[in-house]
Each structure stands twice: as C-alpha cells, then as structure tokens.
Amino acid sequence: MVKKRTLNKSLAQKLRDPNTIFLLGAGASFCAGLPGVAQLTDLVHSQLHNIPRSTFEEIIQSLTNNGIENPNIEDILSELYHRLSTVALAHRDKEQFKTTFKEICQCIQNTLKVDGPTEYHKEFVRRIVSRREAEPAKKVPPVQIFTTNYDLLIELACEESDIVVINGFEGIFHRRWNPRCFDYEIGNATTHAQTPRFEPSARHIRLYKLHGSLSWFEDNGQFYEEEPTSESKRTPLIIYPSRLKYAQSIRPPFDWLFRRFGAVVSEARLLICIGYRFGDEHLNQYIFTGLTNGLSLLVLSKEPIDTLTSKCTHHRVSMINEENTIIDGIDQNEVTDLWAFEKFAKWLPAL
C-alpha cells in the first residue's frame, strides 16, 4: 500500500508541470464503447452488404494467403487503395472496389458516432482545465489536446462542462477552417483605473484533431465543420486507417495540424499519450525527436507497445500498462490500472 501511494505521488508530481500536452488515441474512447482496430474490423464485416461483403472477404483471404495473419481494417483498406490505383484494373472491378471502399468508410463513420460524452471524458477535461483556474495570475500555457480520434467525445464533454473548444474552425452557421484561431486568447476585457486590461479565461482548450473528425467536411477546396446528423449526405474529412496515412497527412488541412504538433512538442516538457499505440510514423518522428531534445514522455496503454521497447529504459520515459509500470526508465515492480483512460481521468489530480 505504501508503494502504491509512493507511485501515485511520483506521478502526481510529474503531472504538475504546467507545460504538459496530451495525445489521445483510440484507447481513450474504449470506455465509451467505441471499438479498437480488431473489433472495428469485425463490426465493419458484419455491417457490409452483398458485393462489398464478398469483396471484403476476398481481400482478407488474399492478404492471409500472402502471409498477413488476421488482417485488420487497416490492412484491408490499404489493399483496396492499392487495387484502385492499378492502371490495368477492369472498369467493373474498379467500380466494385469503389463501392466496397465507400461502404466500409460509411460503416466506420456509423460505428464511431456517439450520443453524448462519458462522465470520464467530462472529468478529464474539467481536471486538466483546473490548472489554469488555480493560477489565474500566472501566464500558464494553454491546455492543448491532440487526438487521432474522429469521434466527438472531447467536444461534447467540453460543451457539457462549459469549456470553450478552439478547434481551428470559426463562425456560427458556416464554421470555416482558419488555423489562426488556434492562437486566439479567450478572456475578459476590463478597465481598471482607466487602464484597459485583459484577463485570460482558463475555461478553454485547444483541440487538434490530427486525423480529422466526423464533423468536418470539404467543399470546393474549403474545409468546414457542422454537426453530423443521420440526414447529412456529406462525407467526413478524415484520414481512414491504412498504410497511406503518411501520404494523406501531408495535404491540407492535415499538413498544418501535423506541423503544429511538431512545433508544440518541441516546446513542451511533458507529453502524456493515452490509448495511442504509436501506429502513426509521422507523429512518432516528432515524438522521438522531442525525446532527444528534453521532452518527457508518459505513455498509458493496456498492452506494452513494441515500438517503445528500445525506449523503456530512457530516463525521461514513463510507461504504464496492465503488465508493469516504468517511471523515468525504472521498472517499479508495481501494477496499477491507471493505464485505462477512465481510471486515469478519475485519479487525475487537479493540476
């Protein structure tokens, strides 16, 4: 018991650094009932109809025959991209692959829609915002959350917690992409002794959705945001899971978001990754470069991450999973459930 209190104290001290940023992956949405890659693959398969389903199954068989064990949705979409880019592909086959690709994407969108936030997501945003509320007189860095998730759990949690979200879009009825708004400061303009003053508000976060969102869409080269509804015919602007993620991330608006991630990471002191499996090489490059330049890393995940095996003894790397706990490169011989987003959100000290 003493050891657990010591571990919690050590983590709490680490998290008190105001120059802390967050990166949320799919694991941060599991508590809302949203699936991981393996479960998403099965769900998509079960929802497909007729020709798309048979095409889906044929691709799985082809990948299996080529040595890929238990192909997942990323493998399948990558293969579909490859086949669609084949010049010699017959028109009938190309249309069949297009139909399959479109239906898979629609299934992914439908699966990731939520009716509202979880109590854990509300607790999470409230607690990380509390840092700025506790120190209003100091110039505390803004709360910055990066995420590879398309879902709207963070936005909905902020809305129900009276926290303003700056997400790169501005406007009321036609919210349009303007990345300059990430640098806006929200607060109260007052006058004291005839001297204008500006008091920054603590109750806002900057939310960067690195792979897009179910609420984003593109129209004639412009990027907009609207509430997704069942009646909406628009195709969400998102980077679907495939091995082509890097190529897609270098086009607008994703190129700007990834550059901002690199810039923020280069200035941060602590990056907390929750539910991110390090499956995006573009992001990993920025993270590992930051690690060589003074960044500290705290990784919370259910299972150990193979990509980080060589980093686990680094003196600025901490990892918590269901098998072990490593703090600053040292194995604590302790098991804790703080790797789970919902447990971490409830434990998270008011920073």
Mean pLDDT along residues 16-34: 95
Per residue in 128-187, pLDDT tens?
Answer: 998 777 775 566 788 999 999 999 999 999 999 999 999 999 998 889 999 999 998 888
Confidence category of residue 2, pLDDT binned at 50, 70, 90: very low
Q: Which helix (H) or strand (E) holds 222?
A: strand 222-225
CA 325 vs. chain centroid, Å, equals 23
Question: Is pLDDT at 43 greater than 60 in this prediction?
Answer: yes
For residue 274, give the nearest of 118, 182, 123, 148 by alpha carbon.
148
Higher pLDDT, residue 269 or 188: 269
CB-CB neighbours of 277 under 10 Å:
20
Mean pLDDT along residues 263-279: 97
Report the predicted TM-score, pTM, of the whole model to 2 decimal places. 0.92
Distance CA 337, CA 326 (A): 13
Q: Which residues contact 277 (CB under 8 A, 6 or more apart)?
A: 25, 26, 27, 301, 305
Report angle CA 319, 335, 14 to the nearest 5 degrees. 45
Question: Is pLDDT at 112 greater than 90 in this prediction?
Answer: yes
CB-CB neighbours of 95 under 10 Å:
12
Residue 29 has a pLDDT of 98
% of residues, the chain, pLDDT over 90: 66
**DSSP letters of 64-127?**
HHTT-SS--HHHHHHHHHHHHT-TT--HHHHHHHHHHHHHHHHHHHHHT--SS--HHHHHHHHH
Residue 1 has a pLDDT of 39
Q: What is the CATH number of domain 2-33+116-347?
A: 3.40.50.1220
Confidence category of residue 297, pLDDT binned at 50, 70, 90: very high
Residue 269 has a pLDDT of 96
Residue 262 has a pLDDT of 98
Mean pLDDT along residues 51-72: 93
Distance CA 51, CA 55 (A): 6
Residue 4 has a pLDDT of 66
For residue 241, give the nearest of 82, 77, 84 by alpha carbon.
77
Q: Per DSSP, what are the bridge partners of residue 176?
A: 170, 224
Query: 37-47 vs 91-111: helix axis angle to the nearest 10?
Result: 120
Dihedral angle over CA of 132, 274, 39, 101, nearest 10: 70
% of residues, the chain, pLDDT over 70: 95
Per residue in 72-106, pLDDT tens?
Answer: 999 999 999 888 888 677 878 889 999 999 999 99
Mean pLDDT along residues 224-248: 82
Q: Per DSSP, what are the bridge partners of residue 319?
A: 299, 326
Residue 273 has a pLDDT of 98
Residue 173 has a pLDDT of 84
Query: Domains of the chain: which residue ranges?
Result: 2-33+116-347, 37-111
Residue 129 has a pLDDT of 92
Whether 52 contacts 80, CB under 8 Å: no
Whether 156 contacts 117, CB under 8 Å: yes
Question: Is pLDDT at 348 greater than 60 in this prediction?
Answer: yes
AA letter at 138:
K
**Average pLDDT of the chain to the nearest whole number:** 90
Mean pLDDT along residues 105-126: 94
